[in-house]
Structure 1
Amino acid sequence: MSNGELYTLLTNKAASGQKGSIVGIFKGVERFNIISLIKEHINEKLRNQVEEITLDLSPTMNAIAKSCFRKASRVADRFHVQRLAYDAVQQERIKYRWEAIDQDNWEIKTARENGTDYSPEILPNGDSIKQLLARSRYLLFKSPEKWTASQKQRAELLFERYPEIHKAYYLAIGLKYAYNHDCSKQVGWLKLAHWVEKVRLSGFKSFNTIADTFYNYYDNISNFFNN
């Protein structure tokens, strides 16, 4: 429907997907234009009744929410925070996949030059190394208890051969578990801070970027535990 264009959506969660769920749809993400339109069509008295705004980690969206809904608490959507961690895991997987593709191409070329048949290594589950890395994409988004039998076997093979992916995966899962607590804002942030410390010690550059994001968006992220 969007034809690849960006839109900013303002929705009302209390409407539960029924009439009144969509408050506004604005083409683009230019903050001054969107702020102007929201203020033009929704009077200040109504906007000041809004208690909480859930948004992503975009500074543009944060500026819009701050300007238009001055009395509302701004909450970084857990989905967007966790997605950063899962993207970091996928970055590790993709790095090794390209290395496997390069290795595979080199072995094919060498076999051809030597006049021999090329036979790739086949793992116990029937995957080649390239297939193992390609087919592991979806299981790395899931918790271990949700893996199917074949995904569990694939994960064991993947983690045995690529311990760095194993390490990155359990960092991402650790963030999920840090969120899964019904606790106060102070305790919730403490759990997230412990996770960030593990990230600092891990040595993953991509995860360190996430740690910086936590500190830059401390208020929005920690506000998740208010409700």
Structure 2
Amino acid sequence: MDFSDSMFSIAKQCFPKATIVIDCFHIVQRLCEGLEEMRLRFKRLAATEAKKEAAAFAQNEDRKAKQRAYYRKKHPRNKKEHRGRKRIRKQKYKPTLLANGETKVEMLTRSRNMLAQSGDKWGESKKERARILFEQYPQMKEAYSLICKVRAIFKSHITRKEAKEKLHEWYKEVNACTLREIKAARNAIKGKEEYVLNYFLNRSTNAAAESLNSKIKGFRAQLHGIADIPFFLYRICTIFG
């Protein structure tokens, strides 16, 4: 199950003898949500910085235009005089581009799905974008590194006791950092640590239940609603049973 308190109370009441396991997918997802908050925060700052840069450029162009107008007023042009160059016009603003041809805002926007993936799933373009992103924002590199360490813990075939030791080592690393989003995710994991560690008993996940739930939702959407609930349940049992 996930970190939902309502689902937790339902499971405790309906299945009092069951072993509750916080799915490793939801643990990594919770950490990625913290990284997503960081990405959005840096994106807002980058957008504000880009607006200020564009405004400063426009102000500078207006100042140059006024200077040229003043010069033309003081030095009127003789119609018979031939000028060798064209009149200087206002230049169009061009934002600062990074090494991969993207602006900071574009890079942060396109990094959303990339940061939710493991590094071994990145292509060449994503690797280049990640390199530039982590150079520009070292805090995001630190946060992503901490998430990768949690992924490595859950991928390891270790006992519950060994997993607890590794998880406590990870807590210490998070304590040493200054990333409030990752610390908030750490607190959520620490609050339900016993249920998180239950994963290492049988390495059980709710992937099958999530898959079935997705199929049922898709089947319901195809029917555009349900008129006869018993018949709908019968069809689900027949198709997916």
* TM-score, with structure 2 as normaliser: 0.69
| Aligned AA (2:125) | S
Give the C-alpha shift of residue 144 in structure 1. Answer: 1.6
What amino acid is the match of 1:58? S
Give the equivalent residue in structure 1 for 2:100.
Answer: 125
Aligned pairs for 1:1-227 within 5 A: 55-115=1-61, 117-227=92-202
Structure 2 residues without counterparts, runs of 5 or longer: 62-90, 203-241
Shift in Å, 1:119: 1.8
Q: Which runs of 4+ in 1 moved over 3 A?
A: none
8 Å CA contact 2:139, 2:179 repeated in 1: no
Matched residues, number: 173
> Is contact 1:123–1:129 with CA below 8 Å preserved after alignment?
yes
Task: Kindly provide the amino acid, as one letter, of the partner of residue 75 in structure 1.
Answer: V
2:220 aligned partner: none
- 1:220: how far off? 0.9
Q: Higher relative contact order at CA 8 Å, sep ≥6: structure 1 or structure 2?
A: 2
SS in 2 for 1:226: helix
Structure 1: distance between partners of 2:143 and 2:185 = 13
Residue 211 of structure 1: CA displacement? Answer: 2.1
Cα RMSD, aligned residues only: 1.3
Q: TM-score, normalised by structure 1?
A: 0.73
The one-character-per-residue Cα deviations of 1:44-98 (angstroms, maximum 9, x if unpaired) are xxxxxxxxxxx11112111111111111100011111111111111111111111
Q: How far 1:214 moved relative to its partner?
A: 2.3
Structure showing greater Rg: 2
Q: Distance in 1 between matches of 2:181 and 2:99?
A: 31
Q: Which has the higher helix share?
A: 2
Give the structure with the larger strand fraction: 1
Looking at structure 2, the residues matched to 114 and 84 of structure 1 have their Cα atoms a distance apart, in angstroms, of: 45
Deviations 1:104-159 (A, max 9, x none): 11111222222253221112211111111111111111122211000011111111
